[in-house]
Structure 1
Amino acid sequence: MIDDKPYRQVGQASPDGIVCLADHASNFVPEDIDLGIDPALLGEHIAVDIGVEGVADRLARQHGIPAHIACVSRLVCDFHRREDEPAVVPAESDGHLIPGNIGADIERRLATYHRPYHAALGEFIADHSPRLLLALHSFTPSLASRKEERPWEVALLYNQDDRAARHAISLFAEHGLTVGDNQPYSGKQLNATMDRHAEARGIPYLTIEVRQDQIATEAGQARWAALIADVASRTQLALDRA
């Protein structure tokens, strides 16, 4: 964590632009928490959205899109869940038991990590007054717990407000990409951060899921940061003209 904060903020931009956030960017586990898992799992998708931190950093430092980036693993506290959801401190993930979370002090995790993260994100959004929010995630090409095909290089997730997603789906497709429309996950079921910070405020948003093999390397992260910055800016322009 940075100065005992469960997030860090990078970059400056003029008001009324785009703001980025990354709920699952870190695999960090504080020393006072023992998850009881094989440490190797901290490098897997159950602990972190692989590649997302590098993309978010590049968006902030190279493309003028300031970013609010998580500094704690989703296995410690999942910022992309509501406080009342059992998975906010998961006891299991993709077939792996998380013994250290069974019987954990959930209220303490919420008070230490979840609430400060979202309070700061709310202030970050208020300070920048964005016209578009950009949430970054990545998804694994395959799950250990079930067999399914995931051919999409990138996906757009949304709940009720699909204004921005519809533009971005078309723009990514123009680049020759196979684009998931609320796949492999659906924003109708899992959209907690954007429900709270975008839909509740009436701010258009893009929740972008990139397949992990696309952004596992620095070269891939640089490529996708440039691509996402282009699609986001063109989406914002289209919304402004609507």
Structure 2
Amino acid sequence: MNEAFTQIDGGDLDILIIADHASALVPRDIDLGIDPTLLRDHIAIDIGVAEVSASIARQLGCTAILGGVSRLVIDLNREEDAPGLLPVMSDGHAIPGNRQADLAARMLRFHHPYHHQVGRLLDGMTSPFILSVHSFTPRLASDPDQHRPWDIGILYNEDDRAARIAIPRLEAAGLRVGDQQPYSGKLLNATMNRHAEANGIPYLGVEMRQDLVRKEAGQRRFAEILAQITLDCRNRLA
């Protein structure tokens, strides 16, 4: 298994599920200098994403690629020249081990292999559709007064075709939907900008609320909803 990613081969349907922040793994030879309990926190991993992505892949019979290391090791959803690639602070927590880290080495070890594999998988599809899966914390430690009421957020940059299909479907399923909330795909959309928008591939980018997908029942609920909506988007756009 490649340490940069985990690949789930659920079947041959031309849908690729991409989960940049699905892992909290820190390789043994990397010392971030943080309390290990933080690796269970949102600063280290998109909670619930790995489980939901795997479930959707099995339901639809498609492939999922999950980032293999914590976003604190390298942020796979950042452009190659972005300052946040190697975070030294996250939601008020210092990451001292990254201050003197070799960015080029981590790029070669994790970032490049991950994105090269995403590209290879898409190249092997006749008419691909992408589901990009993230999750967000309902409460930031660094800004506790910020109100984040949404159950799921929809992210996109210029291509909002799937978003316009998905939003009313998600609302009909009983979810409170944030259109470009709590994050905006205009700013935080590096993986989709690179692999989807740059190549004209339709995609749906979602951010699930972490307290709703932390446990198995919530993961199952979101996977069932997103599987059907993703398939509908793919059938209408791909």
**TM-score (ref. length: structure 1):** 0.94
Counterpart in the other structure of 2:108: 111
8 Å contact kept, 2:22–2:68: yes
Matching of residue 65 in structure 1 with residue 62 in structure 2: yes
**Aligned with 1:134 (options 131, 135, 141):** 131
The aligned residue for residue 176 of structure 1 is 174
Is 1:217 the equivalent of 2:215?
yes
Q: 1:82 aligns with which of 66, 79, 82?
A: 79
SS of equivalent to 1:47: coil
Deviation (angstroms), 1:61: 2.2
Post-superposition offset of 1:70: 1.0
Q: Deviations over 1:187-239 (max 9, x none)?
A: 00110000000001101111111000111011211111111001111122333
SS where residue 209 of structure 1 aligns?
Answer: strand
Q: Does 1:189 align with 2:187?
A: yes
Which residue pairs with 2:42 in the alignment? Answer: 45
Aligned match of 2:27: 30
Asked if the contact 2:3/2:69 (under 8 Å) is kept, the reply is no
Structure 1 unpaired stretches of 5+: none
Write the distance in 2 (CA, Å) between the matches of 1:60 and 1:148.
34
Say yes or no: does 1:21 pair with 2:18: yes
Identify which range, 19-28 or 123-132, moves more after superposition: 123-132
Structure 1 SS opposite 2:75: coil
Other structure's SS at 2:204 match: strand
4+ runs of 1 displaced by more than 6 Å?
Answer: none
Contact 1:63 1:226 in 2 (8 A): no
Give the direction of change, closer, same or farther, for the CA distance of 1:174–1:122 in structure 2 (3 Å limit): same
CA distance in 1, matches of 2:52, 2:136: 14
Structure 2: which 5+ residue stretches go unaligned?
none
Question: Is the CA contact 2:33–2:96 (under 8 Å) kept in the aligned structure 1?
Answer: yes
Structure 1 residues 142, 129: closer, same or farther in 2, change over 3 A? farther
Task: Give TM-score, length-normalised by structure 2.
Answer: 0.96
Looking at structure 2, the residues matched to 27 and 21 of structure 1 have their Cα atoms a distance apart, in angstroms, of 16
Cα distance in 1 for residues equivalent to 2:95 and 2:52: 28
Contact 1:13 1:128 in 2 (8 A): no
Contact 2:12 2:63 (8 Å CA) reproduced: no
Is the CA contact 1:19–1:130 (under 8 Å) kept in the aligned structure 2?
Answer: no
Aligned mates of 1:129, 1:51 — CA distance in 2: 30
Question: How far did 1:19 drift?
Answer: 1.1
Say whether the 8 Å CA contact 1:59–1:66 is kept in structure 2. Answer: no
